[in-house]
Structure 1
Amino acid sequence: MYQLTPYLFFSGRCEEALDFYTKCFGGVVLTKQRFKDAPVQIEGAEPNWVMHAEIEAFGLKLMLSDGVVARELSGNNVALSLVFDDLDEQARVYDKLLEGGHIMRPLEDAFWGGRFGKVEDQFGVRWILHCDLVK
C-alpha cells in the first residue's frame, strides 16, 4: 500500500510558504529540517534553507522544501511523493516510472531512516518515492 502526497518546492521561500500554508489550512508542522542539519553537506544547498518539512491539515499531508537540484526550476515546482510501506513495491514502482524517464536520485537508503529515490518520468512529472526502513 502507498499514498500520494503533494511535495512543493520554493527555492528559498519555503519558510515563508510553510508559515502561510499552516495559517491558511489551520494545520500543524509535523517536521522541519534544514540543510545545515544534514549529517553530510549537500552540494548547492543554502544552509538555512528548508531541506524538508511536512504539515498536516484536514487529514492531508503536504510536503515542502527549498530544493537544490538544478532541474527543479521555477515553473516546475511540484513533485508527487509516494510513501510506501513495502520496499519491494517501492522498487517495482520506481523501476516502472523510470521507463522512458531518468533518475534524479537513485533509490537508496537515506540518513533519516528511509529508502528514498526520485525519478522524472517520460512526461516530465517528478516522483519522489519514500519507504520507512524502521517500523
Structure 2
Amino acid sequence: MKKMLTVLLTLTALNGMYAVVAVPLPLATVVANADGGDVLRYDSLYTESNWQGVALPPEVMFALGDPRQMVLTVEDLPSNVKASLRPSHAAGVVGLKISRDDRRQAVRQTGRFTLTNPASGYSYTVQAMVVGEEQPEKD
C-alpha cells in the first residue's frame, strides 16, 4: 500500500510539472509596411521607425478583426521604448511605430507584442527583437 501511494504521489508530481512548462511564443515576421512589390523581411524592429510592421497569418488577421480597432500591449522592453499601431499599407500586415523617450540609451532586447480584439477578447502574442543604437546628445 505504501509503495502504491508513493508511486501515485510521484506520478501526480510529474503530471503537475508539465502544466507549468511555457509554450514558446512565435517569432514575429517583421516586414516593411508598404504597398505592393516584394515583401522585405527584417530580423528586428528598429526604434524611431514607422515603416515596419508584423505580418500575421490570415486566420489570425481574421480573428483580430478591423486593424483600426485592435489594441496593442507591449511587455519585456525598457520603459523608454514605446510601441503603437500605425495604419497598414499591406494586406496581412499590422503597422507599428517604435520610438524611445531617450535616444542616448541603446536598445537590443526581445519584447512581447500582444494584439487584442476588444470586442471578442481574442488576442495573439508574438515576440520580436527591438534594436536602437545609442545616439549621443547633440551640442
The answer, yes or no, to whether TM exceeds 0.5 is: no
TM-score by length of 2: 0.26
The structure carrying a bigger strand percent of its residues is 1
Q: Rg: which structure is higher?
A: 2
TM-score by length of 1: 0.27
